[in-house]
Amino acid sequence: HAILATNTSALLISEIAKATKRPDKVVGMHYFNPAQLMRLVEVIMGDKTSEETCNVTVELAKKFGKEVVLCKKDVPGFIANRITIAGTNLIAWMVYNGEYTIEEVDAAAIQKAGMPMGIFALMDYTGIDVVANVLRFMDEREPLFKACPLIMERVKKGEFGYKTGKGFYTYPEKGQWVMPAIDLGKAEKFDPMIQTYVTVNMAAELLRNDIATVEDIDKTIKLGFNLPIGILEIADTIGIDKVLSELKTIEKKYGPFYKPSPLLEKMMK
């Protein structure tokens, strides 16, 4: 009778459920890190998760004082990681190809986008090995998604971030987190909105395929990443025409994985 809930942030619930003869009672219950502080819980339905299992899990999370978002279909990365990891991977490719430096990207993220830390510094904090596992998982299941070697090479070297003393930046010792010293004067070259356009596109696809609602997508961004505005709210502010135009440029340069969502095309029409 017990519900089996997994805290995975990306792995398919349906694949995990194959290990049991009662897949209807297997569900995703993804807490955000650190779980004792972050208010959000993502509840994910596998292909065979029952409505009862889902409802009990949602109510349990609410009893814990959490805010809940529902991922109605099982896709790699669910809501949070699916809409953010694609942009991170693209930026890693830009650095790998020599278009920008790590410091230029992180300086722009802080100075222009108002992020508390840079994109690469955040990977160091989260754990580059964790990021690589999510990328590898998506790479295996989505042929058009190409995990960037810049991230994978760090893992091969055992450079996972601050927990190993070295990642994209170097730290005083293993396990000692200090904010990397970044020259904010290098912010001029990189446009952090590139990540935003890709994130909007991934969110639009979640919406188009009835995987998550507008409200849950934006709640995920606000509560899961401590941002004051949701990604779809940002899209409306920028203008769908601008987002679509930029995505077409990104697709042309970096490949079909970044093809604009048909939902955005429909909205433009």
Distance in angstroms (rounded) separating the CA atoms of residues 32 and 197? 24
Instruction: Look at residues 74, 89, 85, 65 and name the one whose alpha carbon lies nearest to residue 6.
Output: 74
What is the Cα–Cα distance from 187 to 183, expressed in whole angstroms? 8
1 labelled catalytic: no
- Phi then psi dihedrals of residue 86, to 5 deg: -65, -40
**What DSSP element (H or E) covers 153?**
helix 149-156
DSSP structure class, residue 166: B
Q: Of these residues, 25, 30, 66, 219, which one is catalytic?
A: 30
Identify the H or E element spanning 69.
strand 67-71
8 Å CB contact between 10 and 76:
yes
Residue pair 95/102 in contact (Cβ under 8 Å)? The answer is: yes
Catalytic residue numbers read: 30
